[in-house]
Structure 1
Amino acid sequence: MRKARWVAAAAGVVLLVAGCSAESDAKDDKSGTPRSGSSAAPAEAGGSLDAAAVAKEIADAATAAGFTEEPSEGLPPSLRKCAVSWQADVKKAADPQKSYDATLAALKKGGWKQARERKEKGSVITSVHKSGWTLTASSHGRADTFLVITFGAGNNSAECEKAINEELAKSMKS
C-alpha cells in the first residue's frame, strides 16, 4: 500500500511535469522564448526554488488557509529534490473547499502563476508554476461524503523528469 501511494504521487508529478512542460513548449511565442512551465524556463524574479522552499510555500499557504497536513509516507529519497507532496487532513478543516481556494490564492499571491484549471464531476485540478516548478492542486469529492485534497509539485528539469521515470520503472518491476 505504501509503495502504491508514492507511485501514484510520483506518477502524478510525472504527468504534471510532462504535460505542463509540453503544453508550454507548444505555446512558445515567435521569439523562441520558453514559457515558465517549460523545463528550459529561467527562474522568475524570486530566484530558483528547491524542494524545501516549495514544500514550505505549500505548507505555509495551506496551514494559513486552515488545513493541517495529513501524515504520509513521503517520496523515495531519490525524488526528494524533484518532487513535493502535501495532503490536507480535510476532516480537521472547518470548510475544506474554502481552505483549498484560500491556499491557491495565497500561492498565487506568492508568485505562482496559474497555468490552467479543470473542473469535472466533483473534481477541481489547478496547475500553477513558478521558477521551474509546476504545482498541481487537486480537490476530489465532497466534504459530506469522501474528499481528498492534495498539493503536488514537480521540478520541471530534465534531470528530475529522468529521476521520476527511473523510480516509476523500478516500482513497476517490484
Structure 2
Amino acid sequence: MRRGKWAAAAAGVVLLVAGCGGEGGADNDTASSGGSGAQGVKLDAATVSKEIDTAATAAGFTKDPEIDTVAPELKECMVNWAVDDPGKAADPEKALADTIAGLVEAGWTEGKGARQGYADVKTLTKGDWTIKSASDLGKGIKAVVFAGTHGTPECATLVIADMEKKKS
C-alpha cells in the first residue's frame, strides 16, 4: 500500500512538472533570470539526477530505488527522485530545506513556492531544466519527490505525446 501511495505521489509530481512548465520548461514564478536558470548551462538528465541525489543524500534523505515513474522514451527529458521514507531523516523539514539549499549551492535558481492541492511545491531552474520539489507537510512529511523536466521543444513534444497516449 505504501508503494502505491509513493508511486501515485511521484507520478503526480511528474505530471505537475510537465503540465505547469511554460515556454522553455520553466514557470513564470522563477527568479528574475527569466525562467532560464543559469544562462548557457548545458545539462543532461543524468547530471540533473546526480545533482538532486547529491543534495538530497547530503541532507539526510535516501532515494527509493523502486520508484521511477518516467517512461523510457522520456528518460532524456525527465528525471524523478523520490525519497524512500522522509521519516528516516532526523528532521525531515530541515532535510528538505537543506536539499533545496544544496541545489541552490549547485547553481539552481529557486523560484517562489506554492501550495498545490496537498503538496507544497518549490520550483528551481538551471539552464533549460526545471525541478519541482513537492512535499506533503501535513502532520509530519509523508512524501517528498523531486521531478525535473528539460524544457526543449523536442522534450515538450515527447511529453505531450506521452500524456496523449495515456489519455487513450
**RMSD value over aligned CA atoms?**
3.1
Question: Is 2:52 the partner of 1:58?
Answer: yes
The answer on whether the counterparts of 2:13 and 2:132 sit within 8 Å (CA) in structure 1 is no
List runs of 5+ in structure 2 lacking aligned partners.
Answer: none
Over 3 Å counting, the alpha-carbon distance change for 1:15 and 1:88 in structure 2 is same
Task: Give the Å deviation of 1:121.
Answer: 8.3
Of stretches 78-87 and 12-21 in structure 1, the one that deviates more from structure 2 is 12-21
1:23 to 18, 21, 28: 28
What SS is found at the alignment partner of 2:111? strand
Match of 2:81, SS?
strand
Shift of 1:23: 2.3
* TM-score normalised by the chain length of structure 1: 0.78
Q: Which residue of 2 aligns with 1:82?
A: 77
Aligned: 1:115 with 2:111: yes
Q: For residue 100 of structure 2, what is the aligned residue in structure 1?
A: 104
Q: Which amino acid aligns with 2:16?
A: G
Instruction: Give the whole-Å Cα distance in 2 for the aligned partners of 1:171 and 1:122.
Output: 23
Distance 1:117 1:7 in 2: 20
Q: Is residue 2:53 matched to residue 1:49?
A: no
What is the TM-score with the length of structure 2 in the denominator?
A: 0.80
Q: Higher Cα Rg: structure 1 or 2?
A: 1
Counting aligned pairs with the same residue, the percent is: 28
Distance apart, 1:17 and its partner CA: 2.1
Q: How far off is 1:11 after superposition?
A: 1.5
How far does residue 61 in structure 1 lie from its aligned partner after superposition? 0.3
Return the letter of the residue paired with 1:114: E
- Between the aligned partners of 2:117 and 2:79, the Cα distance in structure 1 is 26
- Describe the shift of the 1:120–1:14 C-alpha distance in structure 2 as closer, same or farther (beyond 3 A): closer
Secondary structure at 1:13 match in 2: helix
Label 1:18 to 1:120 Cα distance change in 2 as closer, same or farther (>3 A). Answer: closer
